[in-house]
Structure 1
Amino acid sequence: MTTAPTDLTSATALVDRLRQQRQARLIETHISWVLLDGQDAWKLKKPLHLPFLDASTLARRHQLCEEELRLSHRMAPSLYLDVTPITGTPDAPVLGGTGPAIEYAVHMRQFPEGALLGELLEAGQVQPTQLDDFARHLVDFHRSAEVAPPSSPYGSPELIEQTTRDVLRNLADIGGEALSAPFVDWLDAQAPLLRPLWAQRQAQGHIVEGHGDLHLANVVLLDGTLTAFDCIEFDPGLRWGDPLSDVAFLVMDLMAHQRADLAFRFLNAYLDASGEHAGIPVLRHYLVYRALVRALVARIKAGVGQPPDGPDYLALAHSLIAPTAPRLLITHGVSGSGKTFVSQGVLEQAGAIRLRSDVERKRLFGAAQPAAQPAGAAPSGTGDLDANPLYNRDRTQATYAHLRDLARLSLQAGWHTIVDATFLDAGERDRFRQLASSQSAPFVILHCEASRPVLEARITARLTAPQPGARDASDADTSVLTQQLQRDTALRPEEAAYTLQADTTQPDWAVRLAQAWLTLDAPADLA
């Protein structure tokens, strides 16, 4: 009768025999072994019983393997193949085969070396558009994930707060009270403010069975597409949560690796695709929590009294809880003048939340189509704005009101904020200027312009882009542009003191504009 290994020593011997059989490379983690044979990967669970993990029996390890396959197959179906029984004897194990299983392995497709997002980042091979696509893929994943009922403990204010305090207690145990004390004080001040928001998000069905461990080493480039893998299977409490907590993990890790530009690009791509701007007030807590978790893991790996390797996650956490002085920037210019392109560069360099009128207009009213024109009507380019119902006066005013609400949320949460819209109406600019004043936030206008042939060429190009992913959110056509140009859209002389002119002729234009925005001494009282 064959039996499964019951201790770490015998299990290690079994893994070593499998490695020799397949002439495989072995990767060892705290709780697993992974064998790589050049084509396939085989992941075995260690027979451990830890405070956060029970893999002490064969039945339990089999269950964990099946859970890992189920969970990670959701995001990476081409990577996760099956759960393979290991048969034979501990001295002569067989992957698959017949007879009773003595162990189990998650069978995966092996991906190339250097394909992890962290490795791509270090090699300078990350394409920003790949992060945009991954953000949209993550939105689809979160929308299709199972939702926790409001009665569930997952995502509750009590669980979120307690989980954070547990991390802080563990940090104190390793590095002393001084290490965690500033964060305990910050949490004491923030928790009473965030509890109602956490409770609201839980009640509204925002808690889903997500990934749970979305850092740079758990995202891989497969067939040209960034894909998440290795979901947390051993603790439901770590994967059931707010989608913004998943997002915050990757945003935080990009920040920690000195790529705040990509972090804010990814964050804004996710917010644009998901419409989760109402969750911005809880985002900072998730960023801090994720940074503290990685700081704790790094210290555990380094050992007591030893400096941790890698990014300084604790320093990042300190920067995230520091007092903030957010600023508000609005764009100005007709359709096709480059507002979205320019504001994209600025948000990456300044680290800002951007709100786009084209995106939010569609979110509010759907993708309305222009009304059919009767025979003999003026061709596109000379029509009325109401020819496209998305751009009629009532919907435009409602869109700007919605943008003000979101901008207020973002500023109150301490984030630099950009509102990307035409802002051709002086009254709308004044209302956002007054919003900035009410939040004691410096206010800046970013003016964009281009010649009419360039404007028309850009509009035509984006409306006729062959691939949906290449198309801009704007539905403004040349008829909308004509109507805009027929109006007096110039900025007033008094607005010059807090207006920046977009100039993309310099190679470092985005850095220059971001620095100018963050240092411009705008009037303190603009009411």
Structure 2
Amino acid sequence: MTTSPTCLASATTLVAHLRRQRGARLIETHISWVLLDGQDAWKLKKPLRLPFLDASTLARRHQLCEEELRLNRRMAPSLYLDVTPITGTPDSPVLGGTGPAIEYAVHMRQFPKGALLGELLASGQVQPTQLDDFARHLAGFHRSAEVAPTSSPYGSPQLVEQTTRDVLRNLADIGGEALSAPFAAWFDTQAPLLRPLWAQRQAQGRIVEGHGDLHLANVVLLDGTLTGFDCIEFDPGLRWSDPLSDVAFLVMDLMAYQRTDLAFRFLNAYLDASGDHAGLPVLRHYLVYRALVRALVARIKAGKGQVPAGPDYLALAHRLIAPTAPRLLITHGVSGSGKTFVSQGLLEQAGAIRVRSDIERKRLFGAAQPAAQPAGATPSGSGDLDANPLYNRDRTQATYAHLLFLAELCLKAGWPIIVDATFLDSSERERFLRVAIKQSVPFAILHCEAPRTTLENRLQARQQAAQDASDADAGVLAKQLQRDTALRPEEAGYTLQTDATQPDWAQRLARAWLTDQPPT
């Protein structure tokens, strides 16, 4: 670290006087001062030059403030207000005012104490639906973010490997070779397998100007909505990355705080919104990388005499590099039988990926509108029902083929996978069973059923709420029930059922699924 002692002393004096003027509380980080006056927050850059940051000149600090404002307004426009010049002198500073600027501050709206996602988690106030909304918001943010030119180094196999090995080297320097050796050995085996995937994602334009630092302390509840803030402005190489690297940071942090249920809820909500299941083979690397970064930060702080706080990220990294146990489960049941509700509880408890036919069908073919029907005609919309072009036989077969492709992709990447579809056709169930046998992974069918009155009431409530991807209605249900949809006797050996009205049903269902053996 290098900086002028006079410059730093002058800046410290300026901050002290601003703090007294505004009766503000001071938060100091390694590279910034933040003044909180009860209504506003004022963030000043320290005049430092570090290996990863140059804020040594006033012009450079001004540039960094403007960049921080630009970047964070993408996700949190109501939080980031402006860049305010500080005029006057260090002994008598003025926020704004006339005359030449002696410093600059990022002017923010102060949010209430306890509003950070990590604080909400600790106090038991996280609403799962808020995480769903944030996942969808994040997917939209990534879709609209600027895409890195394919000729840039961002997201390239070389840069991803370099940043990972830098973290491993720093861990070894601080804690010894034994600390980083298991991860270095794991990465040595993974890197050759992942290089083509990293190169492919870069060539496909998947690398975007993301957040770069999306952990639990950088997500805040504003006006009832979770919002990311404080993204990385000082190092483009840490910000321009694969969107799944952003996602992995928050997933990893939730896992580290023993909330794997929320981690996989958030992950699946993001995948449903983004459709980026193709990135699942690289996800585990990003989870491990993010855990190692947090473990490194904790050890750096401990080396400076700070008491270590937070979870054991290194222990999580060890769990993430352990051999995986992928497995395949498909649902079975008519519309309204509870497949999506039950599989949601299962994915959270088992730490699984889920793909839904209702979502993937629309992703493949769009949300087509049903064709006009004669008066008195029975509505239709599922399976081989042709009134809605989304649900004709060809598109249904194509949807199941796509689900099969995603299931194979997830299994090869080492993830447990749940395929949420009706699977009323035994030939479709047989195709998925054959994939499980081919991959030597356990296979299960989750059978869901309910009385017809319950089914009809659920579908009616779903249609009225208009918040689910399914278009099934009473007419669809009637035609499904006309078919022979029973499971075959030979399928009983790997069929699971649950009573979702019983306590701890999801935990017990997850245990039953995770102890299944591969079929033969």
TM (norm. structure 2) is: 0.97
Deviates more, 1:190-199 or 1:7-16: 7-16
Question: Offset at 1:438?
Answer: 1.1
| Comparing 492-501 and 205-214, the one that deviates more | 492-501
In structure 2, the partner of 1:259 is 259
- Give the whole-Å Cα distance in 2 for the aligned partners of 1:25 and 1:376: 70
| Counterpart secondary structure, 1:464 | helix
| Count of residues in Structure 1 that have an aligned counterpart in Structure 2 | 517
Paired position in structure 2 for 1:511:
507
| AA partner of residue 503 (structure 1) | D
Cα offset, 1:377, TM superposition: 3.0
Q: 1:205 to 1:381 in 2, by over 3 A?
A: closer
- The equivalent of 1:520 in structure 2 is 516
Aligned partner of 2:363 in structure 1 is 363
User: 1:482 pairs with 478, 484, 491, which one?
Assistant: 478
Aligned twin of 2:433: 433
Tell me the amino acid that sits aligned with residue 285 of structure 2: H
2:383–2:392 contact (8 Å) kept in structure 1: no
In the aligned structure 1, how far is the partner of 2:102 from the partner of 2:401?
64
Q: Is the 8 A contact 2:381 2:388 kept in 1?
A: no
Matched residue type, 1:66: E
Q: Is the 8 A contact 1:5 1:90 kept in 2?
A: no
Kept in 2: contact 1:155–1:242 (CA 8 A): yes
* Alignment correspondent of 1:67: 67
Q: Which moved more, 1:489-498 or 1:368-377?
A: 368-377
Change (3 A) 1:6 1:61: farther
Residues 45-98 of structure 1 deviation map (CA, whole Å, 9 limit, x = unaligned) = 001100000000111000000000000011000000000001000110111111
Give, as a single letter, the amino acid of the residue that structure 1 aligns with 2:501: T
Task: Measure, in 1, the Cα distance between the counterparts of 2:339 and 2:52.
Answer: 49
| Aligned AA (1:71) | L
Contact 2:382 2:391 in 1 (8 A): no
Shift of 1:304: 6.8
Q: Which residue of 2 aligns with 1:108?
A: 108
2-structure distance, mates of 1:197, 1:379: 44
C-alpha spacing 1:477/1:376, structure 2 compared with 1 (3 Å): closer
**Amino acid of the structure 2 residue aligned with 1:253:** D
SS in structure 2 of the partner of residue 386 of structure 1: coil
* Cross-structure match for 1:495: 491
Query: Alignment identity in percent?
Result: 85
Contact 1:85 1:101 in 2 (8 A): yes
Contact 2:441 2:518 survives alignment (8 Å): no
Q: 2:220, 2:227 within 8 Å by CA — same for their partners in 1? A: yes
Change (3 A) 1:261 1:94: same
Give the Cα–Cα distance (whole angstroms) in 2 for the partners of residues 299 and 307 of structure 1: 10
For residues 241-275 of structure 1, give each alpha carbon's deviation from its aligned partner in whole angstroms, at most 9, with x where no partner exists. Answer: 11000000000000001000000000000000000
Q: 1:234 corresponds to which letter in structure 2?
A: F
Quote the offset at 1:6 in angstroms.
5.2
TM-aligned CA deviation for residue 216 of structure 1: 0.2
Give the counterpart of 1:473 among 469, 478, 502. Answer: 469
Matched, 1:446 2:446: yes
2:442–2:518 CA contact under 8 A, matched in 1: yes
- Return the alpha-carbon distance in structure 2 between the equivalents of residues 7 and 379 of structure 1: 75
Q: Structure 2 matches for 1:140-219, cutoff 5 A? A: 140-219=140-219
Give, in angstroms, the shift of residue 458 of structure 1. Answer: 1.0
CA contact (8 A) 1:264 1:351 kept: yes
Q: Following the alignment from structure 1 to structure 2, what is the Cα–Cα distance between the partners of residues 280 and 383?
A: 29
Distance 1:348 1:109 in 2: 35
CA–CA distance in 1 between the matches of 2:382 and 2:244? Answer: 44
Mapped contact 1:381–1:478 kept (Cα < 8 A): no
What is the CA-CA distance between 1:461 and the residue it aligns to?
Answer: 1.3
Residue pair 1:5, 1:11 contacting (<8 A) in 2 also: no
- 1:10 positional shift: 2.2
> Would you say 1:54 and 2:54 are equivalent positions?
yes
In 2: Cα distance, 1:189 partner to 1:522 partner: 26
8 A Cα contact 1:349 1:514, kept in partner: yes
Q: Post-superposition shift, 1:502? A: 2.4
Secondary structure at the aligned position of 1:450 is classed as coil
1:233 partner amino acid: E
Partners of 1:132 and 1:304 in 2: CA distance: 38
Runs of 4+ in 1 over 4 A off after TM superposition: 304-307, 379-384
Following the alignment from structure 2 to structure 1, what is the Cα–Cα distance between the partners of residues 382 and 397? 23
2:160 maps to amino acid: I
2:379–2:387: 8 Å Cα contact kept in structure 1?
Answer: no
Alpha-carbon offset, residue 32 of structure 1: 0.4
> In structure 2, what is the equivalent of residue 223 of structure 1?
223
Q: Which runs of 5+ in 2 are unaligned?
A: none
**CA distance 1:6–1:47, change in 2 (3 Å):** farther
Cα RMSD, aligned residues only: 1.7
Aligned to 2:24: 24
Q: CA deviation at 1:464?
A: 1.9
TM-score, normalised by the number of residues in structure 1: 0.96
Partner of 2:129: 129
* Aligned CA distance change for structure 1 residues 307 and 176 (closer, same or farther; 3 Å): farther
> Structure 1 residues 377 and 383, CA, compared in 2 at 3 Å: closer, same or farther?
farther
Q: Conserved in 1, the CA contact under 8 Å of 2:436 and 2:518?
A: no
1:386 corresponds to 2:382? no
